[in-house]
Amino acid sequence: MTGIAMGVLKERDLELGPQPLGESTWRHWRITRDADDVAWLILDKQGSSANILSMDVLGELSDVIAGLEVNPARALVIRSAKPSGFVAGADITEFGVMTDEDAVVKMLGEGNRILDRLDALPFTTIAVVHGFCLGGGLELVLACDRRIAIEGARFGFPEVLLGLHPGLGGTWRSTKLINPVEAMSLMLTGRTVNARGAKATGLVDAVTEERHVLNAVKAAVDGSLRLPKPAFPQRAIGFAASTSFGRRMFAKKMRSEAEKKAPSKHYPAPYALIDLWEDLGGDPREMKEAEVASFARLLVGPTAKNLVRVFFLRETMKKLAGKAEPLKHVHVIGAGAMGGDIAAWCAWQGVTVSLADMQAKPLAKAIGKGASLFGKIGKKGALTRDALDRLIPDLHGDGIARADLLIEAVPENLELKKKIFSAAEQRMKETAILATNTSSIPLEELREGLARPERLVGIHFFNPVSRMQLVEVVSHDGTSQDVLAAARAFVGQIDRLPAPVKSAPGFVVNRALLPYMLEAMVLLDEGVKAETIDKAATDFGMPMGPIELADQVGLDICLHVSEVLKDALKWQMPDAPKWLRDKVAAGDLGAKTGKGIYTWEKGEAVKATEVPEPAPELTDRLILPMVNTCVAILRERVAESVDIIDGAMIFGTGFAPFRGGPLHYARERGLGDVRDTLRALAAKHGPRFEPDEGWDLVKAL
């Protein structure tokens, strides 16, 4: 195959075959043949930084295949010209807005026919994959005869995260190609596997370095490529799962595991996929037809619609980060739970971090906790070592003078924070940003006495920092726009989602969450069981109930924040119950002390197993005050849009994603119904439930 080596196009260091001789007929594809009659088909979707399988991309692929059907090649190699990877998936902007089930079936039918024609070409087809190969991209790869992965490639079916399952042949091709239990696990979890893991399961045939692509392609074409042989346990499981009895047994276990993370009453996609495989996994032809119909039903349903909305909310918030020169050095003041975790996360994301505290003990504890986190994420390899090298204990605050960004993360005490700011401002660079991680104190109070108040911004993380995606970027009326832009860019730099909010008591997330948690305390005071209260919330779709959440956060923190916000906002909320104050005074603070409202053992709340079921009103008493507060936040322009508020609540609190956010939930339920229910609750339980005056604004936006 010496012809391939002649005139090789090494754009972006990718081996993309011989240079095209003239202008391509297509916008997104280009095809050439080398001296050995191997066709190289390159995907480079125009107007996009990543390849996606839109209908115009598939339509052009159909034309390419038609030409190859008439004029066959010796082999076909498919590659991506994008440095980001192969194909990131299907075009969500096209199918995410579809509401007609028949139209979805028609669209998927056309896409499947195109991939079937690729599958049926009478010569060897080879996919060479670098970077991400997800969803529809993986389905395209599965329609090829051979799959070669470049080191660093990752493969996965993320459709379940959108309330769907594969719809372009992924369900039957994957379960036919590899151990079906492993294939189902990939589809049910949405996880990705690296190139080596994909080869171990048989999902790809070879793994190579970019510089050896031509040799790997040559071996695939002439038949000398050594194909992987799955280990005996995988073969045995695959054999068992090939029988109807085996599928029933595995399907039962799959449903049980799925219920733990995605209850069937809220998330239908995993169970639709399991049913599909259990019933039809023995007949790929029937499974193929049923896959399309099942996908279409899911797509037009409310769960998929709302999860697609969440996908777009995430993309919107990513774009808010913008682009700026990455910050190189961050100095964190305060090595407590939040400060230590912020420092560790920044170090993991490649930033040099100096972590300061007045005492050596909390510094040592924070470094140890960071090492533990790195070990879990990085498997104690070179990444862990490098992150630890970037995490520098700083007992004397020497890092202040070198830092591009200072983050204060000390307890919520106004005078303490102002004292720290005053001292830090004298030592920091003029170009450095001064940030606070305060969760409740308005920045207008914190800026008093600063020589350069325009460089003060809030960068408010949520606990646990390594898992919560949201960071509130808080401005006051004097914050420099350049500082705000740099703060948002920094949040993006450390792989978090920035939510721009204005300085106000509690900002967005804590302000909206507090009525939810306080109402839970009122219900406890009325004699409702803690487990019943929590079940009402989790049945609604919250990741945990408000009582368990209060214990996780710490009852002392909950009490302090509630008093600060209740006073600042003049809320008509009941005072914190005496028993709550007594618990805090006694040191029963929740998970961190082993005892709060629940007793905690090995990091888990000990709960009674048999408790009364929650009444419907109980759910409304918990959820609707949160929704009502989001309306007030919108009316006061603490956040500028419904999308920012909904995104903040989903990514900052875990608000039931399948409901699309609190304000979207209100719209879906009906604004009139929500307001009427709030008025009824106000008449029965007090003025704290009175609808905010901003409900008409929600309707208008």
Residue 616 within a domain? yes
The catalytic residue among 15, 60, 159, 425 is: 159
Judge contact between 171 and 277, C-beta under 8 A: yes
Q: Are residues 188 and 216 in the same domain?
A: yes
The one-letter amino acid at 580:
L
- Residue 625 has a pLDDT of 96
Is 90 catalytic? The answer is yes
In 3-state terms, what secondary structure has residue 343? helix
Residue 430 within a domain? yes
One DSSP character per residue, 551-608 reads HHH-HHHHHHHHHHHHHHHT---PPPPHHHHHHHHHT--BTTTTBSSSEEETTEEE--
The catalytic residue among 90, 153, 304, 512 is: 90
Residue 646 within a domain? no
> How many CB atoms lie under 10 A from the CB of residue 209?
10
Is 139 catalytic? The answer is yes
- Give the angle subtended at the CA of 439 by the CAs of 434 and 440, to the nearest 5°: 105
The one-letter amino acid at 225:
L
| Block mean pLDDT (10 aa), the chain, length 701 | 35 65 75 93 93 95 95 96 94 86 95 97 97 97 97 96 96 95 96 95 95 94 86 77 90 95 95 97 91 97 96 95 93 94 96 95 94 83 90 94 96 92 93 93 92 96 92 96 97 97 94 93 94 96 94 89 79 80 93 93 90 93 97 95 96 95 96 96 95 85 61
What is the domain range of residue 574?
Answer: 510-638+670-700
Residue 664 within a domain? no
Domain boundary among 265, 300, 335: 300
pTM for this entry: 0.90
Query: Shortest CA distance to 692 belongs to which of 645, 644, 654, 658?
Result: 645
Is 548 catalytic? The answer is no
Q: Are residues 492 and 606 in the same domain?
A: no
CATH number for the domain spanning 484: value is 3.40.50.720
- Residue 10 has a pLDDT of 41
- Residue 39 has a pLDDT of 96
Query: Shortest CA distance to 2 belongs to which of 297, 215, 224?
Result: 215
The catalytic residue among 136, 137, 156, 458 is: 136
Distance of CA 250 to the CA centre of its chain: 28
Q: Are residues 143 and 175 in the same domain?
A: yes
The catalytic residue among 60, 127, 137, 139 is: 139
- Residue 3 has a pLDDT of 35
Angle between helices 642-653 and 662-669 (to 10 degrees): 120
Residue 112 within a domain? yes
Domain boundary among 504, 526, 554: 504
Burial-class residue 116 by CB neighbours within 10 Å (0-12, 13-18, 19+).
middle
- Residue 2 has a pLDDT of 34
Is 137 catalytic? The answer is no
One DSSP character per residue, 3-26 reads HHHTTB--GGG----BPPSS--SS
Sheet of strand 352-356: strand arrangement: 391-394, 352-356, 329-333, 405-408, 433-436, 456-460, 470-475, 497-502
One DSSP character per residue, 454-497 reads GGEEEEE--SSTTT--EEEEEE-TT--HHHHHHHHHHHHHTT-E
Residues across the chain: 701
Q: Are residues 295 and 331 in the same domain?
A: no
DSSP single-letter state for residue 400 = G
Domain boundary among 504, 537, 567: 504
Q: How many domains does the chain have?
A: 3
- Residue 434 has a pLDDT of 97
The phi and psi torsions of 350 (rounded to 5 degrees) equal 100, 5
